[in-house]
Homo-oligomer: A and B are copies of this chain.
């Protein structure tokens, strides 16, 4: 399409990702003619600030998409399923953050640093991947390009913001309860998350015992990286962290790759920040990634259990590069 100054709408503008999209659009000085903020259900009188202006939040209904060029859909899957086709029908291109359309053959699934060119074949919808996927592929793709990857084993340490504002509030309330010596209640997340770790992100698949999050991490990685044969097994775990996901990633190449080779490749890679060296505190943590757009990679070392393997520690802010920033980067390709 390439509208230089598009009219933009954000569906789910009041959610944690929606508000982050608003912030990233302002920070990156995204060129836009007009901005509409939409939310499903009525939020009477609610408004949000953008570039010093108060913009009132309208109800996300089909008619709201008239005249809109780009829609960021930062709502849940069911809202996306209902509204995205209506936005496309109204002539908009939709960057969808939900998993509703990610696995369709006619929908590109895009991480700009990895497969930005896939934006070109969209038919109205471009899907933005799952947060835990985005940070992993930003680190894996440049390695894979130089040295084919056969297999990935990944364990995640995922923050509660991936489950929305309610989960963040629940972590805080539970933490206060534990520290006050009272019994915390788990209503939004499946188990107590304060001072605990929970190996359940999203829902369980009865057919294989993996969670949908674990399945997404594997399936989306293969699609984004155009690597249908890459073997990927994930364990996704929620940890009591507000923002940013960490991942212990074990990579098996089809030949030996040294730590030095991998480090050089990653240092030259777009969107990656490498922490080099070995020592106390010399690695990224969730707190380092919180609020910025980098995918931080540290603790790159040989896999002592495999001659062709490397192990690394990958951290990124799930609301920024894992969600809002990636979506805005896709929109930048659209409007460039």
Which residue in B210, B218, B239, B242 is a CB contact (below 8 Å) of A239?
Answer: B239
Q: Say whether A305 contacts B231, CB under 8 Å.
A: yes
What residues of B have a CB within 8 angstroms of the CB of A250 in the complex?
153, 233, 235
Q: Quick one: CB contact mask for A266-290 with B, threshold 8 Å, 1 for yes?
A: 0000000000001111110111000
A44 interfacial by beta-carbon distance below 8 Å: no
| Closest chain B residue, CB of each to CB of A300 | B209
- Once the chains are docked, how many angstroms separate the CA of A210 from the CA of B300? 10
Q: Which residues of B sit under 8 angstroms from A107, Cβ to Cβ?
A: none
Give the chain B neighbours of A101 by CB distance below 8 A: none
Q: Is the CB of A301 within 8 A of B197?
A: no
- A90, CB-defined interface residue at 8 Å: no
In the complex, A187 has a CB within 8 A of chain B? no
Which of B206, B231, B235, B298 is close to A278, meaning CB atoms less than 8 Å apart?
B206
Number of copies: 2
Identify the closest chain B residue to A205 (Cβ).
B278
Q: How far is the CB of A262 from chain B (nearest CB, A)?
A: 12
Any chain B CB within 8 A of the CB of A47? Answer: no
A305 pairs with B209, CB closer than 8 A = no
| Known contacts A151-B305, A304-B210, A305-B151; A195/B313 CB under 8 A | no
Taking a contact as CB atoms under 8 Å apart, the answer to whether A240 and B209 are in contact is no
Give the Cβ gap from A187 to chain B, nearest Cβ, in Å.
Answer: 13
A22 in the interface (beta carbon within 8 A):
no
Chain B residues whose CB sits within 8 angstroms of the CB of A172 once the complex forms: 179
Question: Is A200 in contact with B283, judged by CB distance below 8 angstroms?
Answer: yes
Q: Mark A294-321, 1 if CB is under 8 A from B, else 0.
A: 0000111111111001010100000000
Known contacts being A190-B280, A286-B196, is A302 close to B239, with CB within 8 Å?
A: no
Check if A203 is an interface residue, CB within 8 A of chain B: yes
A72 close to chain B: CB less than 8 A: no
B208 touches A301 (CB 8 A): yes
Answer yes or no: A32 CB below 8 A from chain B CBs: no
